[in-house]
Amino acid sequence: MGNTYVFGDIHGRARQLREILEAVDYDERHDRVIFVGDLIDRGDESPEVVECVLQLRRRNPNVVCLRGNHEQMLLDLLDYGDPLWLIPENGGIQTLQQYGFDIDENTASLAIGIPESHIEFLRSLPFFYEDERALYVHAGIAAGKHPAECEPEVLMWTRDLNFFTLYDGKPCFFGHTPARLLPAEGVRNPGEIYVFGSAIGLDTGCTEEDCLSCLHVEAQVVYQKYPTLPVSAYEIEIPCLAAFSA
Domains of the chain by residue range? 4-72+127-245
Look at residue 112 in the predicted model and tell me its pLDDT. Answer: 80
Which DSSP symbol is given to 207?
S
**Quick one: CATH architecture of 4-72+127-245?**
4-Layer Sandwich (3.60)
* Contact present, 140 and 176 (Cβ < 8 Å): yes
For residue 242, what pLDDT is reported?
Answer: 84
Mean pLDDT in consecutive groups of 10 residues from the start of the chain, 246 residues: 94 98 94 98 98 97 98 95 93 93 61 91 98 96 97 98 97 98 96 98 96 97 98 96 72
- Per-residue pLDDT, 205: 97
**Which segments within 43-150 are labelled E, that is strand?**
63-65, 101-104, 109-112, 128-130, 135-137
Three-class secondary structure of residue 130 per DSSP: strand
Q: What is the pLDDT of residue 101?
A: 80
Compute the chain's Rg from CA coordinates: 18
Give the CA angle between residues 61, 42, 223 to the nearest 5°: 55
d(CA 34, CA 148): 18
